[in-house]
Structure 1
Amino acid sequence: MFDTRPDRGSEAVLVGRSNVGKSTLMRELTGHTFDTGRNPGVTRSPNHYDWAPEDFVITDLPGYGFMSGVPEERREEIKTGIVRYLEDNAEKILVAIHVVDGKSVVDIIDRHSGGEEIPYDVELFHFLRELDIPTVVAVNKMDKVDDRDERLDAICDRLGLLPPWKQWQETVAPISAKRGQLDPLEKAVRTHLHDQERDDLFTFF
């Protein structure tokens, strides 16, 4: 299910929970609509947008975490597949876009914090960094958030980034994918591409 990757030397990946707007963001970035199914958890394999003849692909990985009506075993399969995909392709991934829901991510993280449990969103963020994959947290649905700066500061705090959020603009990008408001994300992604001497890929972001 996860072995569909085109043979490309460079890649950007979108990761995140189900229902955070990854597919909408993918559509905004590529101009291409992907059939993801109506129910969360239906998409169990990556969606790739392949720019032949460019040696570059954007990949939308399946959503992880709780999904209504999806058995725990299946959720764990998906999570394991995502982890292995990232590990196997880490050297080719120029940037990871970790999409979170600006309205709910702090509550979700807090609900799963404590004891031995590490919230998925926090775990994934640190896992990407351990793999040395440049990561941008795309905080989506910000058009529905009133306390913008406070919310972004809280997200930074939960991820182990010392607030205020504005000092992390290469890492934290407030967006509204549905409204096409992606400027902070595009600037952050371009910073990471530039650092890797891949300004040639700016046309995609």
Structure 2
Amino acid sequence: MFENRPNRDAEVVLVGRSNVGKSTLMRELTGHSFDTGGKPGVTRSPNHYDWTAEDFVLTDLPGFGFMSGVEEDHREQIKTDIVRYLEEYADNVLVAVLVVDGKSVVDIIDRHTGPDSIPYDVEMYHFLQDIGIPTVVAVNKMDKVDDRDERLDELAERLGLYPPWKQWQETIAPISAKREQLEPMYEAVRTHLHEQERDDLFKFF
């Protein structure tokens, strides 16, 4: 299912739970529409978009987490596949963009925080850190959020980053993919590309 990755050295991946706007973001980044199927959990295998001349691929990984109408064991399988993929290609992935829904992410995290459970978004963020992949948390749908700074401070805190969020602008990027307000994410991604001496890829971001 995850076998169709183009053989490229450099990769940027989009990860996140279902329905956070990853596909819209992918469309903005590439100018191409991908078949998302219109219901959660439809993107079951990665969407790759590659530039042969640049030896670069942009990958939209399937959404993880709760999806209505999708069996739990299937959801777990998707998550396992994503984790395996990221572990396998960790050396190739220059940046991971973890996409979250700015309106609901803090509530979702708080709802799933218990003695035994780490919320998916927080778990994924720390997993990416553990395997050494620089991560940008793209906080999408910010056009629908009123108490913007407060909400972003709360998210920073949940991720283990001390507020105010503004000191983490290479990590936390408030965006609105539908409204094409993506500059904070582009800047954060470029920071990480620059650190890895890949300024040649700035033209994509």
Structures share fold, TM-score greater than 0.5: yes
Q: Which residue of structure 2 lines up, in the alignment, with residue 192 of structure 1?
A: 192
Q: Which runs of 5+ in 2 are unaligned?
A: none
Question: C-alpha deviations, 1:63-113, integer Å up to 9, x for none?
Answer: 000000000011011000000000000000000000000000000000000
Please list, as runs of the form range in 1=range in 2, the aligned pairs for 1:93-108 lying within 5 A after superposition.
93-108=93-108
| DSSP 3-state at the match of 1:3 | coil
TM-score (norm 1): 0.99
Q: Which residue of structure 2 lines up, in the alignment, with residue 14 of structure 1?
A: 14
Q: Which residue of structure 2 lines up, in the alignment, with residue 164 of structure 1?
A: 164
Deviation, 1:4, is: 1.1
Alpha-carbon distance between aligned partners in 1 of 2:140 and 2:44, rounded to the nearest angstrom: 22
Deviation, 1:174, is: 0.1
Q: Which residue of structure 2 lines up, in the alignment, with residue 26 of structure 1?
A: 26
Structure 1 stretches of at least 4 aligned residues deviating more than 4 Å after TM superposition: none
TM-score (norm 2): 0.99
Q: Which residue of structure 2 lines up, in the alignment, with residue 203 of structure 1?
A: 203
Question: C-alpha deviations, 1:93-144, integer Å up to 9, x for none?
Answer: 0000000000000000000002111110000000000011000000000000
Deviation, 1:175, is: 0.1
Q: Which runs of 5+ in 1 are unaligned?
A: none
| DSSP 3-state at the match of 1:75 | helix
Q: Which residue of structure 1 lines up, in the alignment, with residue 76 of structure 2?
A: 76
Question: C-alpha deviations, 1:126-178, integer Å up to 9, x for none?
Answer: 00000110000000000000000000000000000000000000000000000
Alpha-carbon distance between aligned partners in 1 of 2:27 and 2:131, rounded to the nearest angstrom: 27
Please list, as runs of the form range in 1=range in 2, the aligned pairs for 1:72-151 lying within 5 A after superposition.
72-151=72-151
When the two chains are superposed, the root-mean-square deviation of aligned CA atoms in Å is: 0.5
| DSSP 3-state at the match of 1:178 | coil
Identity of aligned residues (%): 77
1:37 counterpart = 2:37:
yes
Alpha-carbon distance between aligned partners in 1 of 2:36 and 2:46, rounded to the nearest angstrom: 10
| DSSP 3-state at the match of 1:179 | coil
| DSSP 3-state at the match of 2:75 | helix
Q: What is the aligned residue count?
A: 205
| DSSP 3-state at the match of 2:52 | coil
Alpha-carbon distance between aligned partners in 2 of 1:179 and 1:43, rounded to the nearest angstrom: 22
| DSSP 3-state at the match of 1:139 | strand
Alpha-carbon distance between aligned partners in 2 of 1:44 and 1:114, rounded to the nearest angstrom: 28
* 2:139 counterpart letter in structure 1: V
